[in-house]
């Protein structure tokens, strides 16, 4: 029986070993199941957290209502009743002016929590305030939007003024001069004419400034034209009112004398006066000057050149002639505009006569050959 017991013990030991092995296998399976269960719980927890986050995000993205009070402004994207609804992630509100109006300045805009406190303006650095630029209101991230936002502002009417405060012209190298007939207090006449005192072939610049606070725009602050253009087409500045409903053209035409005396050939021996020992009377000196220097060839700027004119000599600075021997008496001459015009006319007549005579000679030749 002991052997049996021993044998049984041996078998039992074997069974124990086998059983122990079986117990080991069972424990590994349990650990695997526990791990899987842990992963499953983690995934469930992650899913719950994700749902919570999504739910929280949805709560953050709840819509809020924007109401605009005032006139001649609207909200971009607004409904028919003038209100705008957008989600809380959108922090900008765009104002649109009505036709004929413009956006208000920031100091004329108020932003408040609907049925709540008015928000303070800021440069955008404070998240609990708001800022404004070029028609767009930007709300800070910490502004409470739950009850909505009310914006108070009015569109500003554009001005209907198209006038100039000043209108001047300047000949190149000269000083600026007011345009003749222009008066800022009067309605613009449209066309103005400036008559220059002397001939010029220099450029002419016309400059204008808009009436103060009219916000009118000018086609150009200044217009430069050549002397030829100044006479034929003039210089034009167009003024447009701020609301673009009115346009006024200011046209400045110029009258420039075609011919003005430019230079004369003066005898060099008269530059410092005339000394005549043998002619001791004023008439005698005048006769001498007329005989020797009484006809000058002059050069004019313009259409006429090479005119010869008789001039009249007279005492220059002194009132009486000094007949003393070796006395110096200064004489001067004058050519009037009338004299110059007469000479130009005479030259033109002579040119016409020459042309007519030439044509008559040609006609006579034709008649002669036809006989």
CA distance 122 to 129: 6
Average pLDDT over the chain, rounded to whole? 79
Please state, as a whole number, how many other Cβ atoms lie within 10 Å of the Cβ of residue 256: 20
CA distance 29 to 32: 5
Q: What's the Cα-to-Cα distance from 332 to each of 144, 274, 313, 314, 329, rounded to whole Å? A: 94, 11, 6, 5, 10
pLDDT > 90? residue 121: no
Q: Is the pLDDT of residue 350 over 50?
A: yes
Rounded average pLDDT over 341-351: 79
pLDDT at 59: 40
Q: What are phi and psi of 28, to 5 degrees?
A: -60, -40
- Looking at residue 309, its pLDDT comes to 81
Helix %, strand %, coil % of the chain (to 5): 30, 30, 35
Q: Which two tokens stand for residue 343?
A: 């000479």
- What percentage of residues in the chain have a pLDDT greater than 90? 36
* pLDDT in the model for residue 216: 95
Higher pLDDT: 48 or 162? It is: 162
Tokens encoding 81: 């009743």
- Band of pLDDT at residue 316, cut at 50, 70 and 90: confident
User: What pLDDT score was predicted for residue 38?
Assistant: 64
Residue 323 corresponds to which tokens in the numbers above? 């007949």
- Evaluate whether 75 touches 66 at the Cβ level (below 8 Å): yes
Contact 152, 109 (CB under 8 A): yes
Position with higher pLDDT, 48 vs 132: 132
The predicted pLDDT at position 219 comes to: 93
Q: What is the mean pLDDT of residues 114-134?
A: 81
pLDDT reported for residue 30: 59
Dihedral angle computed from the Cα positions of residues 253, 255, 256 and 257, in that order, rounded to the nearest 10 degrees: 170
Q: Given pLDDT bands bounded at 50, 70 and 90, which one contains residue 6?
A: very low
Q: In this predicted structure, what is the pLDDT of residue 70?
A: 93
According to the model, what pLDDT value does residue 349 have?
76
Which tens digits make up the pLDDT trace of 74-104? 999 999 888 999 988 888 999 999 999 999 9
Is 331:348 a contact under the CB 8 Å cutoff? no
pLDDT at 89: 87
Q: Are 259 and 302 in contact (CB under 8 A)?
A: yes
Q: Give the chain's length.
A: 371
What value does the mean pLDDT take over residues 39-46?
65
Q: Does residue 324 or residue 280 have the better pLDDT? A: 324
Q: Kindly state the percentage of the chain with pLDDT values over 70.
A: 74
Q: How far apart are CA 206 and CA 178, in angstroms?
A: 10
Higher pLDDT pick, 21 / 125: 125
Averaged over 30-59, what is the pLDDT? 58
Residue 34's pLDDT is 63
Tell me what the mean pLDDT of segment 284-295 comes to: 82
Read off the pLDDT of residues 173-226 as tens digits, 9 standing for 90 and up. Answer: 899 999 999 999 887 777 999 998 877 888 999 999 999 999 999 999 999 999
pTM for this entry: 0.53
pLDDT at residue number 161: 94
Cα→Cα distances 37→31, 41, 147, 213, 231, Å:
10, 6, 46, 79, 102
Q: What is the pLDDT of residue 24?
A: 43
Distance of CA 72 to the CA centre of its chain: 27
Q: Which two tokens stand for residue 82?
A: 């003038």
For residue 289, give the 3-state DSSP assignment: helix
The H or E element spanning position 165 is strand 164-171
Helix (H, G, I), strand (E, B) or coil at 118: strand
- Tens of pLDDT along 8-32? 334 444 443 433 344 444 455 556 6
Residue 109 is predicted with a pLDDT of 95
Query: Can you tell me which residue has the tokens 């049984």?
Result: 8
Per the DSSP assignment, residues forming a β-bridge with 165 are none
Q: Of 144, 116, 141, 145, which is closest to residue 131 (Cα–Cα)?
A: 141
Per-residue model confidence as pLDDT tens digits over 252-269:
999 987 666 666 666 666
Between 123 and 310, where is the model more confident?
310
Structure tokens at 194: 């400036």
36 has a pLDDT exceeding 90: no
């Amino acid at each position: 029986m002991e052997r049996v017991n021993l044998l049984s013990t041996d078998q039992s030991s074997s069974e124990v070993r086998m059983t122990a092995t079986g117990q080991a296998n069972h424990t590994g399976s349990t650990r695997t199941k526990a791990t899987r269960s842990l992963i499953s719980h983690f995934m469930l927890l992650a899913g719950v957290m994700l749902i919570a986050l999504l739910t929280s995000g949805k709560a953050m993205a709840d819509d809020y209502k924007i109401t605009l009070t005032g006139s001649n402004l609207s909200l971009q994207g607004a409904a028919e009743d003038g209100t705008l609804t957008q989600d809380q992630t959108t922090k900008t509100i765009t104002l649109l002016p009505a036709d004929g109006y413009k956006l208000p300045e920031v100091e004329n805009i108020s932003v408040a929590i609907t049925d709540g406190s008015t928000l303070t303006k800021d440069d955008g650095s404070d998240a609990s305030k708001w800022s404004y630029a070029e028609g767009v209101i930007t709300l800070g991230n910490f502004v409470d939007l739950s009850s909505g936002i009310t914006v108070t502002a009015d569109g500003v009417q554009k001005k209907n003024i198209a006038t100039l405060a000043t209108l001047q012209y300047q000949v190149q190298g000269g000083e600026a001069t007011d345009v003749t007939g222009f008066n800022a207090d009067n309605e613009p006449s449209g066309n103005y004419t400036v008559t220059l005192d002397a001939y010029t072939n220099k450029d002419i610049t016309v400059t204008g400034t808009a009436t103060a606070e009219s916000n009118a725009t000018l086609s150009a602050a200044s217009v430069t034209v050549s002397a030829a253009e100044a006479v034929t087409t003039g210089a034009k500045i167009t003024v447009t009112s701020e609301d673009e409903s009115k346009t006024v053209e200011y046209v400045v035409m110029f009258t420039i004398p075609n011919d003005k005396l430019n230079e004369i050939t003066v005898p060099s021996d008269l530059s410092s006066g005339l000394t005549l020992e043998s002619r001791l009377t004023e008439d005698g000196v005048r006769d001498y000057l007329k005989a020797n220097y009484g006809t000058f060839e002059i050069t004019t700027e313009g259409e006429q050149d090479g005119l010869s004119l008789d001039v009249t000599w007279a005492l220059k600075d002194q009132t009486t002639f000094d007949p003393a021997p070796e006395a110096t008496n200064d004489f001067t001459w004058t050519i009037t505009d009338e004299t110059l015009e007469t000479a130009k006319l005479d030259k033109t007549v002579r040119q016409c006569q020459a042309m007519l005579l030439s044509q008559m000679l040609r006609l006579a030749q034709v008649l002669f050959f036809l006989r």
